[in-house]
Amino acid sequence: MEIPKKSIIYPVKSRWNSFFDSLERLLELKSSITWLNDSLRKSTDSVIRRDGVNLEERMLSETDWITMEAIVEVLRPFNDATKILGGSKYTTLSIVYPVLAQLRRVHCPLIPSAHAEAIKAIIEPLVDAIQNSVIARWSPPSIGDMNELRFPNPQATMASQNLGHTAMFFDPRVKDLRYLEERERARTILFVKSRLQQVSGAPEETPSQPSHNKEPTSALAKFLSVIPEPVITNVKDELTRYREMPLLPVQDDAGNDTDPFEWWRQHRSLFPQLASLARHYLAIPATSVPSERLFSDAGMQDLILLLIIKWYCIETFYTVR
């Protein structure tokens, strides 16, 4: 029998997914552990057979193995999610809420009927606890009915807008904000409009001058000429045209993941002001994993240098602001 050359992975509280990794590795080693147990018990050496007996007493039952497989399947989406959101070569902030929407759908995996009752007693409470935790941590804040929403301090309110929602709007794959409730969509669009006004320095609608120089003579003409026809500015036109464009497919025809940054590079002439904001929000990482990975890869010998660089970048950032 060819034994896989893999070692046991021990769970570490401070490391993401280490519990999942340890269970998955143990399942990969199941055949090797079973083979070792059988080989020890069949040995002609009494000492080795005694080791086999000791191992047999500690061996997991078939129910234990199936339970472990079920736990791994429950935790697998979270393993995938943390790896995706910990990436550094693509935008991650815009996909936080789409990923969380999928995690809310975690369910109990299919379990063989012979072991179903015993295993479900363990797995179902685990699934419930996970779902409740995700909802409690990531549900949108209660902001009341949008019809009653008021902004006594617009600047402060806008500044506290959820960055993840805004980044999602600038991701052409999920710009329809279908992962958000209706009130959160409206709030996000309102915030983007405000940011566009700040960037452009122009009002959303600018009244035009009357198209004629004559004074209105009839009563109807006087009423209709009181409010000039609005002229749609580039700001509103950009926002409208961007929202009306079809979504960018998640994968291209070759099966490769599409790149929102590349999409904005190709469309920046059509949406110059939106493209400027998109670069700002899509560049924000969803987690601190990329920076932590940098420190880990560099090693302790370069730690002081990295700290100096980090300090310099922070000082430069605040100086520019």
Identify whether 69 is part of a domain.
yes
Average pLDDT, the chain: 77
Q: Which pLDDT band, with edges at 50, 70 and 90, does 24 fall under?
A: very high
Identify whether 71 is part of a domain.
yes
Indicate if 74 and 85 belong to the same structural domain.
Answer: yes
Indicate if 115 and 236 belong to the same structural domain.
Answer: no
Identify whether 84 is part of a domain.
yes
Average pLDDT value for residue range 45-74? 88
Indicate if 253 and 189 belong to the same structural domain.
Answer: yes
| Final residue before a domain boundary, out of 89, 122, 138 | 138
Question: How confident is the model at residue 171, as a pLDDT?
Answer: 95
Structural domain count of the chain: 3
| Final residue before a domain boundary, out of 121, 138, 155 | 138
Identify whether 8 is part of a domain.
no
Indicate if 254 and 133 belong to the same structural domain.
Answer: no
Indicate if 247 and 315 belong to the same structural domain.
Answer: no
Q: Is the pLDDT of residue 231 over 60?
A: no
Indicate if 105 and 179 belong to the same structural domain.
Answer: no
Tens digits of per-residue pLDDT, 126-162?
888 888 887 777 665 443 333 333 334 444 333 334 7
Helices (H), the chain: 18-28, 30-41, 46-58, 62-85, 96-103, 116-138, 154-159, 163-169, 182-200, 219-224, 234-244, 260-267, 272-282, 289-298, 303-320
∠ at Cα 233 (269, 160), nearest 5°?
Answer: 85
Indicate if 117 and 170 belong to the same structural domain.
Answer: no
Question: How confident is the model at residue 240, as a pLDDT?
Answer: 92
> What is the value of pTM for the model shown?
0.68
Tens digits of per-residue pLDDT, 161-192?
478 899 999 999 999 999 888 998 999 999 99
Average pLDDT value for residue range 259-271? 94
Question: How confident is the model at residue 37, as a pLDDT?
Answer: 84
Domain of residue 45 covers 18-138
d(CA 166, CA 218) in angstroms, rounded, equals: 49
Question: How confident is the model at residue 151, as a pLDDT?
Answer: 39
